[in-house]
Amino acid sequence: MMFYVIPLIMFFCGLLVFSFSYNHFLITLLSLEYIVLSLFLLIFIYMFFSFFDLYFLMIMLAFWVCEATLGLSLLVSMIRGYGNDYFFSFNLVQC
């Protein structure tokens, strides 16, 4: 039972950082990746102790890598377009 507590604490710490970091897009992306890492650890522990097959975990890991790549490409395009990653610098009138 102790093995499930550490990923849950990691998950709630990631949610706390995600909810309070609203200035930079990079910090938001990093907190989302921390949440994904905690979910990966939680699912791995659950599947390992329940003797399930770990192929499902590899498929989910591939989707999470694609999600991280998409977030980084959004960050790069935002920095090229606006010059920084501040949320308050967005202006929808300019679009």
pTM of the model: 0.82
What the chain holds in terms of domains, given with CATH numbers, is: 2-83 (1.10.287.3510)
Q: What pLDDT is attached to residue 38? A: 94
Return per-residue pLDDT of the chain as tens, 95 residues: 788 899 999 999 999 999 987 788 888 899 999 999 999 999 999 998 888 888 888 899 899 999 999 999 988 888 887 778 777 766 655 55
Cβ 14 vs Cβ 31: under 8 Å: yes
Determine how many CB atoms are found less than 10 A away from the CB of residue 33. Answer: 16
Q: What pLDDT is attached to residue 42? A: 92
Map residue 1 onto helix, strand or coil.
coil
